[in-house]
Amino acid sequence: VSSVSQHALGGVVEVNEGAESVLLPCIYSDIQPEDPFLIWTRSDLSPNSVHLRRENGDDLKNQNQRFRNRTSMNPDALDTGNFSLTLRKPEQDDGGNYSCSISDGIKELNLKQIHLKVKELFPSWASALLVLLVLVLIVSAGVFYHFKDYFLKEQLPWVKVDSGVKFVLLPCRTKVCLPGGARVEWRDGENRTVHVYRNGSDDPEEQNLTYSNRTRMNDDPLKTKDLSLTLESPSVTDSGIYTCRVGNRVILMMKRVHLQVKAPLVKVDSGVKSVLLPCKTKLYLPGGARVEWRDGENRTVHVYPNGSDDPEEQNLTNSKRTRMNDDPLKTGDLSLTLEHPRFADSGIYTCRVSIWKRVILMKQVHLQVKGQWYKC
């Protein structure tokens, strides 16, 4: 194949790296040979074929792999003489000299030379800087992660209590001056509203049911700048991060506190005859009080005195796997014996004493039964 370089005017095409595509123009309006083929090449590559078009369509079996699926030419290129090549997703190393030629298999006529420049999205010094920055970030994130408990403990005050205390105080005091009408809002870790104080009084309507009748704040919190919250009968499930916030659209002040309510852990193997879930008190318990034990799913497990009005509870009480000592209200020992504990019995158990539907004592125990679901 002899090559004739004729009116092969050079051209420079510039494109940014990451562009969708770039067009390498090549227009030819002269007489074409019989049975022509049109070829785009890059002489510095091997194989040098970028795209080849025959009369019956593309012939890409000798195409250089790096251009696979990325080149195209108008379907009617040989009819119109528009031999321009579209190169998709140009990359840095696509930069180079492309030549557009037409041939009859013997003679090759070079129609156009295109010098393609693919500009770096980031100059290399910027990339180096970016890499450095990312490294610094990764290292500091690692350091933070490693010491995160230390950092978080430093920031968040912790309040730890045992389940069974009557109430717990979540502190929130400030030196910031707070306007009289400001809204105060306490939220829990699940973003539920715990307590709202606005227009100079508590607003129980906005509060989540979980916290109904269990929260209070001191009088005049905005004046005293003491927005601490009292939470009654704290339960293990109340554990989490609480946020105290003043302001509505504009946040004037925000503080967080980590509450942990602990319950004694009782561990047994599933083979044992019985397990004792402790619940003792020195409080005076009036004779008419009702004692109930509930499991982690809030199902009644045992009720004292025997013979609840609620048929559903009666049903459970009759399961006969649970018992309490005699005269629990007099002795103050409300502990529950659970016979043949199974793995599925594991969970948080709540011992609750109430009179006239008012809770006067609440304690919890974490039972963990090791072993299988069923024991033969």
Which residues of this protein are in contact with ligand NAG, per CB under 6 A? 10, 23, 27, 44, 69, 74, 82, 84, 96-97, 115, 190-192, 199, 208-210, 212-213, 298, 306-307, 311-312, 315
Q: How far is the CB of 25 from ligand NAG (least distance, A)?
A: 7
Q: How far is the CB of 63 from ligand NAG (least distance, A)?
A: 11
CB 350 within 8 A of CB 294: yes
**Residue placing its CB nearer to ligand NAG in the complex, 16 or 315:** 315
Q: How far is the CB of 159 from ligand NAG (least distance, A)?
A: 20
Burial of 188 per CB tally in 10 Å (0-12, 13-18, 19+): buried
Largest CA distance in the chain: 116
Q: How far is the CB of 242 from ligand NAG (least distance, A)?
A: 13
Output the six-digit token pair for 370: 């090791």
**Residue placing its CB nearer to ligand NAG in the complex, 170 or 303:** 303
Helices (H), 92-250: 124-146, 148-155, 221-224
CB 241 within 8 A of CB 257: yes
Neighbours of 374 (CB within 10 A): 9
- Upper half-sphere CA count for residue 108 (Cβ side, 13 Å): 14
**Residue placing its CB nearer to ligand NAG in the complex, 103 or 308:** 308
CB 55 within 8 A of CB 35: yes
Least Cα distance to 373 among 331, 330, 344, 337 occurs for 344
Q: How far is the CB of 73 from ligand NAG (least distance, A)?
A: 8
Quote the DSSP letter at residue 159. Answer: E
**Residue placing its CB nearer to ligand NAG in the complex, 96 or 332:** 96
Secondary structure of 162-179 as H, E, C letters: EECECEEEECCECCCCCC
**Residue placing its CB nearer to ligand NAG in the complex, 106 or 307:** 307
Q: At what angle do helices 148-155 and 124-146 cross, to 10 degrees?
A: 70
**Residue placing its CB nearer to ligand NAG in the complex, 240 or 371:** 240
**Residue placing its CB nearer to ligand NAG in the complex, 113 or 371:** 113
**Residue placing its CB nearer to ligand NAG in the complex, 97 or 127:** 97
Distance CA 111, CA 326 (A): 107
* Cα radius of gyration rounded to whole Å, the chain: 40
- Angle subtended at Cα 108 by Cα 104 and Cα 113, rounded to the nearest 5 degrees: 135
Q: How far is the CB of 129 from ligand NAG (least distance, A)?
A: 28
CB proximity list for 58: less than 8 A, separation 6 or greater: 51, 52, 73
Q: How far is the CB of 300 from ligand NAG (least distance, A)?
A: 8
Q: How far is the CB of 213 from ligand NAG (least distance, A)?
A: 4
Q: How far is the CB of 134 from ligand NAG (least distance, A)?
A: 28
CB 101 within 8 A of CB 38: yes
Q: How far is the CB of 290 from ligand NAG (least distance, A)?
A: 12
Distance CA 373, CA 376 (A): 10
Helix (H, G, I), strand (E, B) or coil at 117: strand
**Residue placing its CB nearer to ligand NAG in the complex, 56 or 69:** 69
**Residue placing its CB nearer to ligand NAG in the complex, 215 or 270:** 215
